[in-house]
Structure 1
Amino acid sequence: MKAMTATGRTEPSVALTAVDQPQPRPDEALVKVEAYSVNRGETFQLEAPRPGWRPGKDVAGLVVQAAADGSGPAVGARVVGHPPQGGWAEYVAVPTSSLADLPDTVPAATAAALPLAGLTALRLLRVTRAAAGSRVLMTGASGGVGHYFVELAAAAGLEITAVSSSPERGARLLELGAARVVPSIDAAEGPFDIVLESTGGPNLPAALAKLARRGTLIWFGQASRQPATLDFFDFFAGPESATIRHFHYADSDSTYGQDLQTLVRLVAADRLHPEIGLVTDWTGTADVLTLLRDRGVRGNAVLTIA
């Protein structure tokens, strides 16, 4: 079969290569990939790829071999999945606990945009434990996670202030339910019960200063790739009894498959709208990765396999 593999170079970062078709483990189904999504974080991984690693964690397609242990969907089922790697290929083996059934009303290209960004947003909303009416500040809201989170959180009754330097992307966040969009953290009028910080660098201490008493800052990314420095005395002179929490989307009591099924159900009911900025043939993956790295795509980028 053919798959996109890492070149170890900047341009192009991937190339179409002949590889062995995966042999599923007993608890894995073999999926014929119809569409996959690429994420900006994967462009960073491609800069120094691990030996034997193949990119691709967001896929949608058709089950062509059911799991040998009897779990998961049957042959012929349409699915969306979150494999550990190797999804940018004609076929991928996916643990059945990381698969969700896909109704005919949800196109594969739409579903492929759900896994990483959608799972992160859904699980972020859970860990906030915020009640309706809580004030939330979100940095880096212009990406895929931000679009999903704003729509999910607004539906839950949270008051979202989204940070976006792009007027066009900010307008879309308002459509999805953000109460307001500001161009920078300094422009956000706090205090906030919850701050979601994903950019790092100087933005983290700036965002921390916007917290209300007993508020929580949830740190879930460092898109700027700049280290953050917190001054001990500034922290304790700031919001009283504030909490900083690290978040990683993989740490959850529910499976990927269970949460993907929730996301699919919301999409099918027209209550969640994946923000897809680009859909093109998978032979253009290398060019799309460059666009994504340079922030040239709003929301998710999806590649389709004919």
Structure 2
Amino acid sequence: MQRLIPTGEAARPVAFAEVSQPVPEPGQALIKVEAFAPNRGETFLLERPLPEALPGKDIAGLVVQAAADGSGPDIGTRVVGHPAQGGWAEYAAVPTHSLAVLPDSIDSARAAALPLAGITALRLLRTAGSLTGRRVLLTGASGGVGHYVTELAVGAGAVVTAVTATPVRGERLAALGARVVHEVATAEGPFDVVLESTGGPNLPLALSKVRPGGLLIWFGQASRTPVTLDFFHLLGGPERVTIQHFHYAGAPYGCDLSALVSLVEQDRLHPEIGRIADWAQTAETLVDLRERRIRGKAVLLTGGAR
């Protein structure tokens, strides 16, 4: 079968290779991959790939071999999955606890756009707690996670201010009900909750806009610039602010994937897909994703996607 493997080259991060089809473990199903969605964080890992790296965490496709232990969906079932790696291929072995069944109403492209970004958004908002009537500031909002967070938070009753670089990148966020600004400095606080994903100088600036007793959840560093916090400067800002580190990981993912599928099916969540292309264009798409030339998610089709 064909698989995309890292090259270590910035201009062309992956290339096709002919490899053996994966052999599933007892608790894994073999999926014929119809669509996959790379994440911007994966593009950073491709800069210095480990020898054993097999990229690909977000997939949708068809079960062609059910799990030997009897768990999970049967052969012929359409699914969305979140394997630990190996999804940029014709076939992927996926733990059944990281799969969710797809209804006919959700195509493979939309499904593939759900896993990492959608699970992150769900778990991030659970960490934030009840949002009804609360003021929320979201930085780095125009990526895949940001669109899901915005739609889910607004739907939960939050008053969301979304920070994104340009008016064009903010159009969809405004349509989802967010107030859009283009710099953290112009966001009108104070905020009950800040969801910070850019790092660098933005984090301390966002922190200064948290209300006394409020919460800042740090879930990314998209700027790739380290954060510097001055303790004495912090003392002059809001009192008793909590800074909480967040990372989405922690299997099983199946229940959250099922929740995301249900939200899409109910027309309560709408994946923002900035590009759909054949997987022959994966290398170019990865570069554009890394350089922030794609709004929302990018999805690659391997052929035969519904």
Supply the distance in 1 between the matched residues of 2:166 and 2:39 (Cα, whole angstroms). Answer: 19
Where does residue 278 of structure 1 map in the other structure?
275
Residue 282 of structure 1 aligns with an amino acid whose one-letter code is: W
**2:122 counterpart of 1:122:** yes
TM-score by length of 1: 0.98
Supply the distance in 2 between the matched residues of 1:28 and 1:238 (Cα, whole angstroms). Answer: 50
Where does residue 189 of structure 2 map in the other structure?
190
- Partner SS state of residue 217, structure 1: strand
Residue 290 of structure 1 aligns with an amino acid whose one-letter code is: V
Supply the distance in 2 between the matched residues of 1:299 and 1:49 (Cα, whole angstroms). Answer: 24
Supply the distance in 2 between the matched residues of 1:170 and 1:280 (Cα, whole angstroms). Answer: 23
- The RMSD of aligned alpha carbons is 0.9
Where does residue 168 of structure 2 map in the other structure?
168
Q: What is the Cα deviation at residue 19 of structure 1?
A: 1.2
Q: What is the Cα deviation at residue 10 of structure 1?
A: 1.2
Where does residue 256 of structure 2 map in the other structure?
259
Supply the distance in 1 between the matched residues of 2:282 and 2:79 (Cα, whole angstroms). Answer: 22
* Structure 2 gap ranges (5+): none
Structure 1 stretch displaced more, 130-139 or 275-284: 130-139
Where does residue 37 of structure 1 map in the other structure?
37
Where does residue 89 of structure 1 map in the other structure?
89
CA contact under 8 A between 2:60 and 2:79: conserved in structure 1? Answer: yes
- Partner SS state of residue 38, structure 1: coil
TM alignment of 1:76-155, pairs within 5 A? 76-155=76-155
Where does residue 214 of structure 1 map in the other structure?
213
Supply the distance in 2 between the matched residues of 1:103 and 1:56 (Cα, whole angstroms). Answer: 23
Say if 1:131 and 1:299 are closer, same or farther in 2 by CA, change over 3 A: closer
- Partner SS state of residue 213, structure 1: strand
- Partner SS state of residue 169, structure 2: helix
CA contact under 8 A between 2:131 and 2:153: conserved in structure 1? Answer: no
Q: What is the Cα deviation at residue 269 of structure 1?
A: 1.1
- Partner SS state of residue 37, structure 2: strand
Q: What is the Cα deviation at residue 255 of structure 1?
A: 2.6
- Partner SS state of residue 293, structure 2: coil
Cα deviation, 1:146-199, whole Å, max 9, x if unaligned, reads 000000010100110000121122121011121x11110110010001001100
* Structure 1 gap ranges (5+): none
Cα deviation, 1:47-81, whole Å, max 9, x if unaligned, reads 01112111000000000000111100000000000
Supply the distance in 2 between the matched residues of 1:88 and 1:30 (Cα, whole angstroms). Answer: 14
Where does residue 204 of structure 2 map in the other structure?
205
CA contact under 8 A between 2:218 and 2:243: conserved in structure 1? Answer: yes
Cα deviation, 1:2-53, whole Å, max 9, x if unaligned, reads 0000011112110010111111111100000000001111110000111211
Question: Stretches of 4+ moved more than 3 A in 1?
Answer: none
- Partner SS state of residue 150, structure 1: helix
Supply the distance in 2 between the matched residues of 1:245 and 1:131 (Cα, whole angstroms). Answer: 17
**2:289 counterpart of 1:288:** no
CA contact under 8 A between 2:207 and 2:216: conserved in structure 1? Answer: yes
Where does residue 49 of structure 1 map in the other structure?
49
Structure 1 stretch displaced more, 71-80 or 233-242: 233-242
Q: What is the Cα deviation at residue 234 of structure 1?
A: 1.2
Residue 224 of structure 2 aligns with an amino acid whose one-letter code is: R
